[in-house]
Amino acid sequence: MKKILNLAIYLLFIIGLIPTLLLSEDTENGKLTADIDSDGRLEMILWRKFGTTELGDYYRLWVIDDDGKILWKGPKEKDEGNPYVFSSLDIGVSLPQLLADIDNDGYVELLAPELQSDVRPTYYRKLRWKGTYFEQLPSYALMMKSATSDQLVWKKTNDLYVVWVSRIDYKSAYKNGLVKVNIMEMINDSTVRTGVALIRFVPQGAIIKKWLKPLQSDDERSAAKNNYSVPTSAISSTGNSTYRARLSYHDHQNSRGKRLVKVKDVLRQDRANLYKLGGDPEDQKDPYFHTGEGRNTMEWIKMHSVGRSYASMKEIIVNETPLVEVDVRQNGLHIKILKR
């Protein structure tokens, strides 16, 4: 009876999956599938939210066999430093992005980004399935070998102005050994270029097989569309900057009307509304977040509270419409509540 029950639970989860690796868009509860034991049938990796703190949500990993048997469960610890705990926090998202044998050694690896406190190459943690448990492997960034190369290599770096894989696309399936990824290039403190490519993993890293969108900045895309040149002055470094913003009702919901519950998401929506719709009368412009690429960096930038606890600052920003002052520094955004 227990086996039948497990099988029924498994079938409920597996309905709708394609017979290849599937990447999940669901940040609340997600799943990936692959043949992790080489028996010709798909096993499933699930993550389920088990707890929340002032920083965000924490998730537990489950490994389910093709017959519904639970093979392994991750720890239930609200510890973003634990390699077997996954999270969606104000300082970033570390949910799994890929389940595949990426180095052709017969073992399936789980890839998930590490949390980041600022804009830098995305480091991926690797967990290798060893039959009954996950083995932790060293974390590396997947970076372009040179500016003109089609090769990506796993490496550690302290460099900032480089090219790296910033995200494995949740919407793409692992078909014919190819996976779609977002690639980011940091040119200077205020200018980034982004692109989308199909890559094939190899033991040393990956090979770019096709560019779906070439590496370009927003200005370059606009110039190409309108057939004019981007002035050199448009690509230059800027120092620290402070701006004020009224976080109004419209800044608390995304373009689909979904309520935003994270500080970084409200701040990002405020900048989008300012530069796309005109914003609020008290909004001030800034040199960093006027482009889509610039606003996307808020996903990795750490949020700091000035003059009050982080929990208090988050409560006010998420649930009220305060006037805030945002100081953009190298180590993150320093946020001060001016008026409530």
Task: Kindly state the percentage of the chain with pLDDT values over 90.
Answer: 44
310-319 vs 263-277: helix crossing angle, rounded to 10 = 40
Assess if residue 147 is contained within a domain.
yes
Residues 285 and 194 in one domain: no
- Answer yes or no: are the C-beta atoms of 107 and 37 closer than 8 Å: no
Residues 180 and 209 in one domain: yes
Bigger pLDDT: 240 or 56? 56
Final residue of a domain: which of 191, 219, 247? 219
Residues 83 and 175 in one domain: yes
Average pLDDT of span 270-280: 91
Residues 138 and 255 in one domain: no
Residues 253 and 305 in one domain: yes
pLDDT (0 to 100) of residue 303: 85
CA distances from 101 to 122, 181, 225 (A): 20, 17, 40
Residues 168 and 251 in one domain: no
Cα 11 to chain centroid, rounded: 29
Residues 243 and 311 in one domain: yes
pLDDT band at 87 (very low <50, low <70, confident <90, very high): very high
Residues 167 and 296 in one domain: no
Assess if residue 231 is contained within a domain.
no
Assess if residue 316 is contained within a domain.
yes
Torsion of CA 44, 25, 263, 217, to 10 degrees: 130
Per-residue pLDDT tens for 121-160?
Answer: 899 999 999 999 999 999 999 998 776 678 999 999 877 7
Assess if residue 226 is contained within a domain.
no
Assess if residue 291 is contained within a domain.
yes
Final residue of a domain: which of 151, 186, 219? 219
Final residue of a domain: which of 219, 250, 265? 219
Using DSSP, state whether 19 is helix, strand or coil: coil
pLDDT band at 13 (very low <50, low <70, confident <90, very high): very low
Assess if residue 324 is contained within a domain.
yes
- Give me the number of domains the chain comprises: 2
pLDDT (0 to 100) of residue 150: 86
Residues 138 and 265 in one domain: no
Assess if residue 124 is contained within a domain.
yes
Assess if residue 233 is contained within a domain.
no
Q: What pTM, to 2 d.p., does this model score?
A: 0.64
Residues 190 and 293 in one domain: no
**Pair of tokens at residue 216:** 């370009």
Phi, psi of 282 (to 5 degrees): -90, -5
pLDDT (0 to 100) of residue 172: 65
Bigger pLDDT: 250 or 236? 250
Residues 19 and 162 in one domain: yes
**Choice among 45-54, 208-217, 268-277 with the minimum mean pLDDT:** 208-217
Task: Kindly state the percentage of the chain with pLDDT values over 70.
Answer: 80
CA–CA separation, 246 and 279 (whole Å)? 9
In the predicted model, is pLDDT for residue 26 greater than 50?
no
Residues 161 and 291 in one domain: no
In the predicted model, is pLDDT for residue 91 greater than 80?
no
Name the residue range of residue 255's domain: 238-339
